[in-house]
Amino acid sequence: MTGFLKKISSSLRTYYFSVVLITLIVITLFVLMALTGILKFNTADAIKKIYFADNISSSHKILIEKFNKLHEGKIEVVHINLPFDKFSTNERKELLIRSLRGRSDRIDLFSVDQIWVPRFAKWAEPLNLYFNSVKRDQILDQVLQTCYYNDTLVAMPLYFDIGMMYCNNTILKKLPNYERIKFELQNSITWEKFIQLGVEMKKYGNPFYLFPADNYEGLMCSFVELIKSQNKKLFENDSIHLNSAAVQKSLQLLIDLVNKYKLSPPEITGYRETETYNYFVRNKGVFLRGWPGFYKWYRENIKDEDVSGTIDRYPLPHFEGGTSASIMGGWNLVVSKYSSNKAEVIEFIKFLLSEESQKTLYRVGGYLPVIKSIYADKQFMQKNNELSFYYGLLNSSVYRPFLQQYTRYSDVIAFYLNEAISGKSDLRTALYKAQRTVNSGDVFIK
């Protein structure tokens, strides 16, 4: 019996020794594999990857790289580039909608044109709890307004745009009353005086006023500005009013600039921003309706030089008895409600809205900052004094209607506006057809 017990005891010792030995070998192999990089799944699984869809500019890349370095091993932003030169705004919109309809979590964060916010609200993570009143108060009021839908914060702004007018001063200075004209321009000249000026300047042979009049959203911006300049609205309680006197007056001006006064060349009816900018530069135009990004476009596409000394900025004209109106534009950030990395996405948005990041976006990319503290930074404003002009335009900023169906309405209206300006249709017929098509609810194919 004693011998038998000794055998069992010996067997148990051998067993336990074998278990301990095997365990030690496994642990040793695991450590060696981890040290040599064979086992990477632990660190890889720990990194939260954020997929961010936008037009990824050089300034975007700088900020993404900086954020990734600050959060190395924890969070990584992976950009999905939807460049403006390859995708129209509508194409970008449809690509995003297609992804979100499938409840895909492959996009965590994406940017939208301000006017798309109502359209994307149903796919957006509500942000009220992530950005309290203190955080929201840091954003320019006029810009933050574009981030709400039904009183819910569904987006945060990245940068804003605003409608304005450029002038070739080398041509304007030929006028004997240049200083008086300049003063009127600085304070928003009336359309009535602007047309008189154009007729006077015909003798110089330069195209007087360039504005994009193709069948697209840019034409709608000019149209809405003219209506708002009369302190009137295009939409009232979700109903469109294309038969009002203000609407007719606005479209008549656009028609007359091309066809009656010959102050705008007929080619613009096929031009969008880029083509209009090109025509203005190549043909030595006098005035140009544009956006703050014109100088950056000039440096990158025409010549790498500062032309702010010769091409100056002014508010848009207004109708007599009205006020100057500049369309608020820009791009907002939306968090997908299907994202599984919401906390990390919010961290990235807060980084983009930091003062340093916003300054980088402006210095490198020319994107207008959306936080108040930058405009209160005297040293930065002195170095970038053009920001004072853009900041001043906020007082006359107006919005396109924030409606779910706005893009459909816009497609219809822009088509018929272009028809009228091109001379393919008279004013009343164009507005009647636009009103009828919008009210029909039918699918509109251009």
Strand stretches in 170-266, DSSP E: 209-210, 235-236, 239-240
Sorting pLDDT into bands at 50, 70 and 90, what band is 33?
very low
Query: 3-class SS at 190?
Result: strand
Band of residue 24 on the pLDDT scale cut at 50, 70, 90: very low
Measured CA to CA, the distance from residue 365 to residue 57 in angstroms comes to: 7
pLDDT band (50, 70, 90) for residue 417? very high
Over 60: is that where the pLDDT of 296 sits? yes
The whole-angstrom separation of Cα 230 and Cα 253 is 13
Report how far apart, in Å, the C-alpha atoms of 204 and of each of 208, 266, 324 are.
10, 19, 27
Mean pLDDT score of the chain: 89
Identify the CA nearest to 362 among candidates 411, 293, 272, 435: 293
How confident is the model at residue 374, as a pLDDT? Answer: 98
What is the secondary structure of 161-175 as a DSSP string?
A: EE-EEEEEHHHHTTS
Residue 132 pLDDT greater than 50, yes or no: yes
The strand pair at 156-162 and 326-335 is best described as: antiparallel
pLDDT over 70, % of the chain: 88
Q: Report, in this order, helix, strand and coil percent for the chain, each rounded to 5.
A: 55, 15, 30
Residue 393's pLDDT band, with cuts at 50, 70 and 90, is very high
Tokens at residue 435, please?
Answer: 């009103």
Tell me the C-alpha distance between 136 and 156, whole Å.
9
Q: Which two tokens stand for residue 87?
A: 């995708």
Would you tell me how many other CB atoms lie within 10 Å of the CB of residue 393? 20
Residue 183 reports pLDDT greater than 60: yes
**In CATH, 164-327+402-440 is 3.40.50.150:** no
Q: Are 240 and 441 in contact (CB under 8 A)?
A: no
Distance CA 340, CA 107 (A): 10
Q: According to the model, what pLDDT value does residue 13 have?
A: 53
| Cα-based angle 206, 314, 384 (whole degrees, multiple of 5) | 120
Check pLDDT > 50 for residue 32: no
Nearest to residue 77, comparing CAs of 338, 330, 351, 334? 351
Q: Encoding tokens for residue 256?
A: 């007359």
Q: Which residue has the tokens 């745009």?
A: 161
Residue 11, pLDDT above cutoff 50? no
Q: What is the pTM of this model?
A: 0.85
Q: Map tokens 């839908």 to a residue.
A: 149
Please report where in the chains the tokens 């954003």 appear, as a residue.
Answer: 139
The residues, any chain, with a CB within 8 Å of residue 123's CB and separated by 6 or more, are: 100, 334, 336, 337, 338
Q: What is the mean pLDDT of residues 254-281?
A: 97
Higher pLDDT, 269 or 102: 269
User: Which of 19-28, 41-50, 217-226, 246-255 is predicted least confidently?
Assistant: 19-28
- We find that the CATH architecture of domain 47-162+329-398 is 3-Layer(aba) Sandwich (3.40)
All residues at 6 or more sequence positions from 251 whose CB lies less than 8 Å from its CB, including other chains:
223, 417, 420, 421, 427, 430, 431
Distance CA 135, CA 438 (A): 39
CA distance between the termini of the chain: 100
Between 285 and 240, the higher pLDDT residue:
285
The predicted structure's pLDDT at residue 381? 96
Q: What is the pLDDT of residue 443?
A: 61
Q: Lowest-pLDDT range, 66-70, 89-93, 307-311?
A: 89-93
Q: What is the predicted pLDDT for the residue at 405?
A: 86
* Local confidence band at 444 (pLDDT 50, 70, 90 cut-offs): low
Extract the tokens encoding 142: 């006029």
Helix axes 245-259, 427-440, angle to 10 degrees: 130
Q: Where in the chain is the domain with CATH 3.40.190.10?
A: 47-162+329-398, 164-327+402-440
Given a contact cutoff of 8 angstroms between Cβ atoms, the answer to whether 333 and 157 are in contact is yes
- Report which DSSP code applies to 312: E
